[in-house]
């Protein structure tokens, strides 16, 4: 609810306390959504994102639940159902534990698939229950260029992200009759904490292969998510939209 008392449609962004998720949450705040900023461990960062949204005239609140836990997801959506109309779900939460397959432990594979893929299936299921009642909504999966082109040392991560593409297309067909759209945004190399750890030499090696010649920003991704969240994209569903500077075409 806004400070004036006007009820706003709800947008839930998972993994929204930093990086791309934080950028998306702030963008949705400018579009008039009451943004639920999901986090699992860093409440302070989630509160900072909420503060930035409200300072810009938006409305937001933190929401803690672990996307790797079905029970916590179900409980969170029970809470959402009492707050108002959920119009947007952004499945952004994810982890990356890189390594060659010969050294990969099953626990790593399970953890990566559970957090990056299975969680999105469960949150989408719960969101669909709420959106079907209203016969409207937008589900947006944040995937990766790696899910399209592959990358050595990221077998588990790439498999999970590619799985999100299949989820997106299949769910789009299932929910279209209820006016619920499902799309995916596949970022390339984006300036986040993860890329911030790269050396200048590593960054140059990456940007040399990007036709537009630079890394992207969380805002670049957020703009597309914002578009997919509003009526301007009412006739778009089942699509994978790349935000990668031309790295994969």
pLDDT in tens, 159-193: 999 999 999 999 999 999 999 999 999 999 999 87
Phi, psi of 73 (to 5 degrees): -65, -50
Buried residues in 118-145 as b, exposed as e (16+ CB within 10 A):
bbbebbbebbbebbeeeebbbbbbbbbb
Out of 157, 189, 235, 248, pick the active-site residue: 157
pTM: 0.95
Residue 87 makes CB contacts below 8 A (sequence gap 6+) with: 9, 10, 11, 33, 131, 134, 136, 137, 138, 229
Q: Name the residue with higher pLDDT: 131 or 2.
A: 131
| Distances in whole angstroms, Cα of residue 113 to Cα of each of 110, 129, 161, 197 | 5, 23, 9, 24
Closest CA to 97 of 206, 16, 194: 194
Residue-wise pLDDT for 200-210, tens only, equals 898 899 999 99
Integer Cα distance of 137 and 97 in angstroms = 32
User: Class of the 10-243 domain?
Assistant: alpha beta
Alpha helix locations (H) across 176-217? Answer: 193-196, 200-207
pLDDT at 50: 98
Mean pLDDT of 42-70: 98
Annotated domain spans of the chain: 10-243
CA distance 234 to 239: 12
Task: Report pLDDT digits (tens) over 80-119.
Answer: 999 999 999 999 999 999 999 999 999 999 999 999 999 9
Active site residue 157: yes
Which tens digit of pLDDT belongs to each residue from 6-54? 579 999 999 999 999 999 999 999 999 999 999 999 999 999 999 999 9
The pLDDT of residue 194 is: 72
CA-to-CA dists, residue 45 to 17, 22, 68, 129, 239, angstroms: 5, 9, 20, 30, 31
Take residue 200 and report the two structure tokens written for it.
């200048």
Quick one: tokens of 51?
Answer: 């503060």
Q: How many CB atoms lie within 10 A of CB 87?
A: 23
Reduce the DSSP state of residue 36 to 3 states and report it.
strand
């Amino acid at each position: 609810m806004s400070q004036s008392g006007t009820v706003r449609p709800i947008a839930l962004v998972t993994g929204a306390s930093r990086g791309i998720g934080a950028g998306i949450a702030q963008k949705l705040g400018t579009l008039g959504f009451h943004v639920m900023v999901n986090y699992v461990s860093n409440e302070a960062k989630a509160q900072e994102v909420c503060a930035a949204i409200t300072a810009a005239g938006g409305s937001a609140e933190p929401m803690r639940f672990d996307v790797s836990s079905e029970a916590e997801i179900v409980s969170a959506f029970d809470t959402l159902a009492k707050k108002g109309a959920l119009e947007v779900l952004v499945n952004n939460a994810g982890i990356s534990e890189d390594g060659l397959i010969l050294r990969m432990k099953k626990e790593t594979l399970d953890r990566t698939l559970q957090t990056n893929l299975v969680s999105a299936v469960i949150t989408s299921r719960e969101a669909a229950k709420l959106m079907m009642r209203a016969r409207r909504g937008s589900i947006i999966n944040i995937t990766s260029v790696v899910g399209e082109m592959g990358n050595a040392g990221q077998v588990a991560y790439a498999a999970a992200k590619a799985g999100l593409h299949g989820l997106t297309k299949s769910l789009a067909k299932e929910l279209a009759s209820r006016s619920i759209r499902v799309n995916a945004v596949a970022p390339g190399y984006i300036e986040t904490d993860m890329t911030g750890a790269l050396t200048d030499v590593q960054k140059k090696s990456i940007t040399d292969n990007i036709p537009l010649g630079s890394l992207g920003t969380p805002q670049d991704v957020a703009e597309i998510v914002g578009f997919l969240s509003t009526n301007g994209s009412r006739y778009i569903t089942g699509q994978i939209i790349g935000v990668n500077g031309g790295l994969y075409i």
